[in-house]
Structure 1
Amino acid sequence: MLHQLGWLGHTIRMPEDRLPRRVLYRQLRLGHRSAGGQKKGFKDQLKISLRKCGLDPGSLETMASDRTTWRRSCHEGVQLADKKWAEKYVAKKRRRLVTMAAPDTTRQVFVCTVCGRQCASRIGLYSHQRSHNKQ
């Protein structure tokens, strides 16, 4: 993400006649995007990265015009995004461990009528009862 944002700032500071800048600001003149789930383009991914880092896509050009401010903003934003991701990951892991540790009292138990064995699912009970019919 840091490299993407760094390249974006570099491209914005380029002269307008340079090819990377023209490609970044170009619009689709002919044709259209087909219906259905579209793959994310580079600009779409950049907008997502900017939002994750807490940077405003509307004030992008003014921020990127000053290189030192842009670099500092990118580094702080990426650290913020990493911190948010880590907190989300830890919370998800805690929830998973709590649900694994707590006994599930709502689970239905299926009991074999012949031997009294407890099965976790109906299909498991059916399979187990077939073993009694082989005798």
Structure 2
Amino acid sequence: MSKVDKTIWGRKLQLKVIYDCFEDEEIAPSQEKALSSFLGDCPEVELSLASLKNYCEKHSAGKIKADDIDNVYKYVVPRSIFVMRKPKGAVALLCDFKFDIEHGIAIVFKDGRLESITTQNAVM
């Protein structure tokens, strides 16, 4: 397992990289390409912040409003990058989530675009 540096929502982080592969399976070229794309110039990561704030509001049981979130890191902390096997070109940013400690959040990007925000269980 390797680690990479990536600036996310204005903060430089060191994240673990996890590939969706079986033990005896090699990393697919499509997975390498997806990670490279995600680590490169991917403005959708920064643009995902508004959608993430809305997700936080929806899943906070009324405790916070999206417009009141000035520091998303109070609620969401990225921990690793999960490079998915399928669909090709998909990468999930796996995060701890204050309002769902057990399941966390997976912010899924496909081909450089925000695809969905869901629980980690949904992508792993």
* TM-score interval, normalised by the smaller of the two chains: under 0.3
Comparing both structures, which one devotes a greater share of its residues to helix? 1
Q: If you compute each CA radius of gyration, which structure gives the higher value, 1 or 2? A: 1
TM-score, length of structure 1 as denominator length:
0.20
